[in-house]
Structure 1
């Protein structure tokens, strides 16, 4: 991943270029290939380049608009390049425009609406020194990070929190509400970071600041939301699979655009298996310019129940893909302690962090410039989101009866009870989504007596109250007015706070390894398609990921398609906490910052882990 950082002083005070150099040096792995800085009155902008695409090899950022003097720094891969070239009326004299040049032209033409016209993974900052106006934006799926701090009339903005913390004169205390939310697994305040005064720009949002508005503070605004009125309806259900396959194949093709090897973290699941199969087909048929493509799969010789190569090897063999097995038995969570784990940016560290870091190091040694994954596949087309109620409304009574029968047999209840389970929750959701009912429900929540919160026993309830964290916080209030309970649930899954935290963690790991992280399942066009079709076409009760499975027929080897499925990581995690990582856990639970801040009861937390070691839940 590339990176960006800048300091803007809206009071016109001089910005020392050494200060922005310090910010850049806090993330040196983002400038694997080059670093460039622009300075002007009260501003300094730096671009850190890690080249991932052929066009990026020709970029020299920051770039300046000759007509307006505006300066752009961008960490970006733009996927709708042909569409933009046509809409902007660009006639390349020699080589095709770079992604940064397309962003600069889009901003010059469409102003604050430019970000909505861009499809791909991006974060950029545009500074107009003549108007002393800043415009910054992130992509709609949240694949490239951007953080900022506005203090007085000075703004610091960067790809990583660590860069802002490194800037001379910046001090930041730990953000107690964020830390408590993190402990509770509540990741749905998109602007929060671990530090007071430093904010994250949310996915699909932009920030505008100028001399007139700086006193009022930063007020991000949304540049993109899924269109609630867009619907895709076909007479033949097979057309949904064909439509999805077309959109998904384009998402994979765009991410194969690389100046070096493209890698893929390949498991035995449908999500990464679909990426591998589509990539294999594109490579075989000559529909991509990717020079090299290779897969990386974890090999477990001891924990054979979590080894997925029996499925992934079928795809590798079918398309004759280069494949590397990563010995993983020794790579359990906490195995690198006190190394590894969270960075100064964020306390989040996924359970697969040691495995990912090891695989990324091997891929970097192989010359990988782009690493693909299937991170968002479960949320895009899976999860426990059913639309039996939608089948009923669509007049598909036979399919509805089939769902009821499956639910009856699975739950061991009567057919009537099964039907109630499938119909009543979405029916209540539909009534609750109507404006009058929504207002009534909000009033009821305010007036009803407070219920005992189901908090973990090791969390300090006074700290929860002090942080102002209400029970059941979610991103419901940011869900657009989509029709259908299942459709709204799908949107919330795709853009869940937990998913955003995982993506940013993977992005940082990939950046430290020296390459770009990309996920075809996190393509905006894929999300728009999935959210526009009937949700009963996405999956059915007893038929998980039906849409993706149908789309992959004839693309993924039949045997692999039948066998693809999710493998539980529980054996890996349990071994880490009950055997190999016990000393690390004991050390982490002794004199922790969380306990010092009064967020957790250290004794209760220690008792909880003792119960796990002894075979408890």
Structure 2
């Protein structure tokens, strides 16, 4: 619930308090309920605290436990408090007021370097162990909170954000070309495959799921946990799977409702955010506490160009959820006058690095602003739901049936699927076959495997060896995403590897700090993730229904119009070109300047950018919002702006 920072002088030199003050001053850009420091001879800890949970009000951070000779500074909300109370033998009269940082410290005192394994929640923290003369810290399993650091032979400095570290006199602000090469070469939504690097040569980050020890001039990184299935669940009926899911999901939602201020939630017209809101509203019903929901919608004069199976304005589905669930104060936000282009500098300031999700940038930040204005302390969301609670793709499952020669089950499923969404049953077999045998599909339709344009200068790519490096991570050069191993293996890789998580979590942490509220995701809870990975695949697709488990589990929580909708899919950010129309010429002029900038073109692919620029000069066509060249041009301008920080 804080921004944390600190310095450890490895060579035992006394701390220069001016450097500590520089770190704390750099954090003053964020709102805070308290700002405190602690230091010993060669260690400095700081905390720029935001009080989010009831227990955090008045919390002393950094905190020094003189009995155990341990000091801690923490950015954390721990969700399995009751379990830890029992394991640690905490007396009942202490439980209500005990802070999360105290729980972390007691866990370390009992389990030492194994302690992060016992923690569930969103956290990054640092502990100074005076007896062992070492720093120990950890970042949560999916890295929902960030933790950056600088080290050399004589000092180790850390912080929740990057900019304060760059204020230190010994940290040189230098571009990390290895990071940039990966960022430019990967055409998909992730930034890099290296989970510990940053855009700055001298600043790294602690990877998700890792703890670390700094003793002397040595740092030891250890992966302490995995988000994987422990065993496949085997219940006797669908109802038992539903009951078990509801139990674990409700626990995850309730544990994220600890807030000293109002509860808010992002709400679209879909299942993931709807499920979170539905379960949260039921949990708050007895206390008569209402949830503020925040929903992005396009401006009224935007003409939806998307196919009839998509919808850019999800208002009817959102309203249906609001009316059915009850206990909701809805906010429908069209952010008229805001756009992705004029937000670039603000976002670079927030992110401290380039970003690729520009289509949604104006409304993601806008929802945080609106939530802060309403006094929200916790902002719920369902961002991880596609990989957890709402997993279940019909065509991929049907493809697996085809490959396993499960003909009877396949035809039964195709019949039921067609009866729900319309269309001929056998007419879908070619689609299923294409998913099952993608190489055959490419041979029959060679134009279908088109390649996204890459931003990277080919000479820079060769010089950096980036494609060989990405291949080692299993990233497909043509697809720009993970593998050709199929959606099931990609899901496993998503939770096995760490690189997909840093991008979104950097945004979450930094927007949370900027607006003094925490974005929290029950679909990302470790207990929920492990449960969902343990569920047999046939529970996710059955009786012609995709995402079957969440659809059945939200009966009574969501209206059938939303719960059983398989024909229309919401698409967010479809209006980004429309919103940029007033600034299109300014955007083109900046892109033109980019094509003349020799320094930037050492890294970016000038020919590809010029081709995209020619298309953009034909005028802003709102129906090209998904066009890869349009997207590449905006992403290139974002990198161009970021590169100016180094000139």
Q: TM-score range by the shorter chain?
A: 0.7 to 0.9
Say yes or no: does 1:307 pair with 2:313: yes
Q: 1 CA distance for matches of 2:131 and 2:283?
A: 47
TM-score for both structures, normalised by structure 2: 0.81
Residues 410-425 of structure 1 mapped to structure 2, 5 A cutoff: 415=429, 421=434
Deviation at 1:221, TM superposition (A): 1.2
Candidates 300, 308, 331, aligned match of 1:324: 331
1:376 and 2:376 correspond: no
What is the deviation of 1:229?
4.1
CA contact (8 A) 1:260 1:292 kept: no
List per-residue Cα deviations over 1:154-197 (Å, max 9, x = no partner).
11111111121122321131111211222233532111110112
Quick check: 1:466 aligned with 2:476? Answer: no
Q: CA RMSD, aligned part only?
A: 3.3
Contact 2:339 2:580 in 1 (8 A): no
Contact 2:457 2:601 in 1 (8 A): no
Residues 423-459 of structure 1, C-alpha deviations (whole Å, 9 max, x = no match): 5679xxxxxxxxxxxxxxxxxxxxxxxxxx9673653
Distance in 1 (CA, whole Å) between partners of 2:548 and 2:63 is 46
Are the equivalent residues in 2 in contact too, given 1:302–1:329 (CA < 8 A)?
no
Instruction: Report the alpha carbon displacement of residue 73 of structure 1 after superposing the two structures with TM.
Output: 0.8
> What does residue 291 of structure 2 align with?
293
1:203 is aligned to: 208
Contact 1:52 1:369 (C-alpha < 8 Å) held by counterparts: yes
The aligned counterpart of 2:509 is: 507
Seen in structure 2, the aligned counterparts of structure 1 residues 326 and 458 have a Cα distance that, compared at 3 Å, is closer
Could you tell me how far 1:114 is from its partner in structure 2? 0.5
Is the CA contact (8 Å cut-off) linking 1:332 and 1:576 kept in structure 2?
yes
What is the SS of the residue equivalent to 1:27? helix
1:419 Cα offset (Å): 6.4
State the alpha-carbon separation in 1 of the partners of residues 44 and 315 from structure 2: 49
**Residue 543, structure 1, aligned to residue 539, structure 2:** no
Secondary structure in 2 aligned to 1:571? coil
Aligned residue number for residue 401 of structure 1: 411
Q: Per-residue displacement from partner, 1:30-73 (whole Å, max 9, x unpaired)?
A: 45100111101111001111011001114111122233211011
Name the residue aligned to 1:601: 605
Aligned match of 1:481: none
SS in 1 for 2:575: helix
Gap regions ≥5 residues in structure 1:
427-452, 478-483
Residues 273 and 502 of structure 1: is their aligned pair in 2 closer, same or farther, counting only changes over 3 Å? same
Question: Aligned residue for 2:576?
Answer: 573
Question: Structure 1 stretch 89-98 or stretch 506-515: which is displaced more?
Answer: 89-98
SS of 1:255's equivalent?
Answer: coil
Contact 1:337 1:584 in 2 (8 A): no
1:448 corresponds in structure 2 to none
**Shift, 1:138, TM fit:** 0.7
Instruction: Show the counterpart of 1:441.
Output: none
3-state secondary structure, aligned to 1:219: strand
Provide closer, same or farther for how the CA distance between residues 231 and 313 of structure 1 changes in structure 2, counting only shifts above 3 A.
same
Distance of 2:575 and 2:431 partners within structure 1: 35
Q: CA deviation at 1:520?
A: 1.3
Match of 1:232 in 2: 233
1:527 is displaced (CA, Å) by: 0.7
CA contact (8 A) 1:303 1:329 kept: no
Residues 517 and 24 of structure 1, relative CA distance in 2, 3 Å threshold? farther
Q: CA deviation at 1:208?
A: 0.9
CA separation in 2, counterparts of 1:52 and 1:414?
Answer: 50
Moved more, 153-162 or 544-553: 544-553
Map residues 106-121 of structure 1 onto 2, 5 A cutoff.
106-121=107-122
Q: CA deviation at 1:297?
A: 1.5
- Mean Cα deviation higher: 564-573 or 328-337: 564-573
Q: May I ask how many residue pairs the two structures share in their alignment?
A: 578
2-side partners of 1:97 and 1:260: how far apart? 19
Say whether 1:519 aligns with 2:521.
Answer: yes
Tell me if 1:584 matches 2:584: no
Please give the alpha-carbon distance, in whole angstroms, between the structure 1 residues aligned to 2:281 and 2:412: 36
Aligned counterparts, 1:549-560, within 5 A:
549-560=551-562
Structure 1 residues 560-601: Cα deviation after superposition (integer angstroms, max 9, x where no partner)? 323486422363133256664441353255248895361113
